[in-house]
């Protein structure tokens, strides 16, 4: 199959392209040109990178997308590209809307023009639930986004639903709850914690400054979640699916688990600063992925404890290696 992935240089793009390339699919990625010629997470795996066909383009530039779609005529499209950092969406709401809403519209229009028989996946998000009033959230939960990012993902979600209903296209949404890995960007709270815990353990740093420690999230493992993306497009009809573990933990739990894995007492090192708190935060999320489990046969394979340890161990290896090189 010929596949196009937008956002291929991020955490999910990496795991998804690895999964699809290993099955012999022809994987094309849309990459934003930058002067450093960096390819994000793909730079950590040159062997995988050599198997992919990377095209320079930008989701906000419809012309660049048309050129790529016309050349590839994909069977499947995974639209993962986004301004994905919720905190940043407060500082740059317009840019967030431009990339996440207009970018999604552009991708859908190129798909409709050049591959109307294909299948399209949109990376929707649990952030669209926002101010939740139920113990767990599923596909029927009323959305109440609490940030420009959440609003943009809700708009992308309904643009996908609308294209499916209006034009009969195979467009599906994965409503993914938080998903992490050793390749998670360093600005997200889980990776910020695993990296800081390791640096404190190695004596490179002495403290970690965070925002809201009470915030609760349903954290899963990215490699499990990209498998769900594939299953969503394999399914007999286009539909929307919540992907989550069903377990929720606070930021404090994450900190405690990461620090104790290294034999550290987190209370001696962690400080709270208002600057990391959001004007309106999503305080609690817990996904109910019964539909995906039943219809797709999907389930997570990595527990919360295993995920935290995996991230800390990977950072320990990475930072110890860098430290040795510098000595």
287: Cα separation from own chain's centroid? 15
Residue numbers 268-327 binding ligand GDR by CB under 6 A: 276, 278, 281-282
User: Nearer to ligand GDR by C-beta: 51 or 277?
Assistant: 277
Is 144 near ligand GDR (CB under 6 A)?
A: no
* Residue 127 a catalytic site member: yes
Is 246 near ligand GDR (CB under 6 A)?
A: no
Q: Are residues 215 and 250 in contact, defined by beta-carbon separation less than 8 angstroms?
A: yes
Tokens of 84: 């994905």
Is 125 near ligand GDR (CB under 6 A)?
A: yes
CA distance 320 to 314: 10
Tokens of 66: 């048309």
CA distance 268 to 271: 9
Tell me which stretch binds ligand GDR (CB under 6 A): 63-71, 84-92, 234-242, 304-312: 84-92
The closest alpha carbon to 104, from 79, 75, 76, belongs to: 79
Give counts: helices (H), strands (E), the chain: 12, 13
Tokens of 305: 């404890």
The binder of ligand GDR chosen from 110, 115, 141, 212 (CB under 6 A): 212
* Residue 125 a catalytic site member: yes
User: Nearer to ligand GDR by C-beta: 71 or 214?
Assistant: 214
Q: Which of 17, 124, 125, 126 is catalytic?
A: 125
User: Nearer to ligand GDR by C-beta: 55 or 192?
Assistant: 192
Is 210 near ligand GDR (CB under 6 A)?
A: yes
* Residue 225 a catalytic site member: no
Tell me which stretch binds ligand GDR (CB under 6 A): 12-20, 21-29, 197-205, 209-217: 209-217
- What is the total count of residues that contact ligand GDR (CB under 6 A)? 23
Is 215 near ligand GDR (CB under 6 A)?
A: yes
The closest alpha carbon to 17, from 33, 30, 29, belongs to: 29
3-state secondary structure of 196: helix
Query: How many CA atoms within 13 Å lie on the side-chain side of 145?
Result: 19
The closest alpha carbon to 219, from 187, 251, 267, belongs to: 251
Q: Which of 149, 163, 225, 284 is catalytic?
A: 149
Is 256 near ligand GDR (CB under 6 A)?
A: no
* DSSP symbol at 232: H
Residue corresponding to tokens 């995906």: 292
Is 11 near ligand GDR (CB under 6 A)?
A: no
Q: How many CB atoms lie within 10 A of CB 267?
A: 9
Tell me which stretch binds ligand GDR (CB under 6 A): 54-62, 107-115, 181-189, 301-309: 181-189
Residues found near ligand GDR in the complex (CB under 6 A): 84, 86-87, 125-127, 177-178, 187-190, 192, 210-212, 215, 217, 251, 276, 278, 281-282
| Active site amino acids | 125, 127, 149
């Amino acid at each position: 199959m010929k596949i196009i992935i937008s956002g291929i240089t991020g955490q999910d793009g990496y795991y998804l392209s690895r999964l699809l390339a290993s099955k012999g699919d022809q994987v094309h990625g849309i990459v934003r040109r930058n002067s450093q010629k960096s390819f994000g997470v793909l730079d950590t795996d040159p062997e995988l990178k050599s198997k992919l066909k990377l095209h320079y383009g930008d989701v906000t530039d419809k012309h660049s997308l048309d050129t790529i779609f016309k050349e590839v005529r994909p069977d499947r499209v995974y639209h993962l590209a986004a301004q994905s950092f919720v905190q940043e969406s407060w500082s740059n709401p317009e840019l967030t809307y431009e990339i996440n809403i207009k970018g999604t519209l552009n991708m859908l229009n190129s798909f409709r023009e050049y591959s109307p028989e294909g299948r399209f996946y949109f990376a929707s998000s649990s952030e669209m639930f926002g101010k939740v009033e139920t113990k767990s959230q599923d596909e029927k939960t009323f959305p109440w986004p609490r940030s420009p990012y959440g609003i943009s993902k809700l708009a992308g979600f309904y643009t996908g639903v609308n294209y499916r209903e209006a034009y009969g296209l195979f467009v599906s949404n994965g409503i993914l709850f938080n998903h992490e890995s050793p390749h998670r960007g360093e600005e997200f709270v889980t990776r910020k914690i695993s990296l800081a815990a390791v640096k404190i353990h190695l004596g490179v740093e002495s403290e970690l400054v965070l925002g809201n420690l009470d915030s609760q999230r349903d954290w899963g493992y990215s490699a499990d979640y990209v498998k769900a993306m594939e299953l969503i497009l394999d399914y007999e009809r286009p539909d929307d699916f919540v992907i989550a573990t069903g377990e929720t933990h606070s930021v404090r739990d994450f900190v405690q688990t990461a620090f104790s894995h290294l034999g550290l007492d987190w209370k001696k090192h962690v400080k709270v600063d208002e600057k990391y708190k959001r004007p309106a935060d999503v305080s609690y999320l817990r996904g109910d992925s019964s539909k995906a489990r039943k219809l797709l046969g999907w389930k997570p394979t990595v527990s919360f404890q295993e995920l935290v340890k995996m991230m800390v161990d990977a950072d320990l290896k990475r930072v110890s290696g860098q430290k040795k090189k510098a000595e």
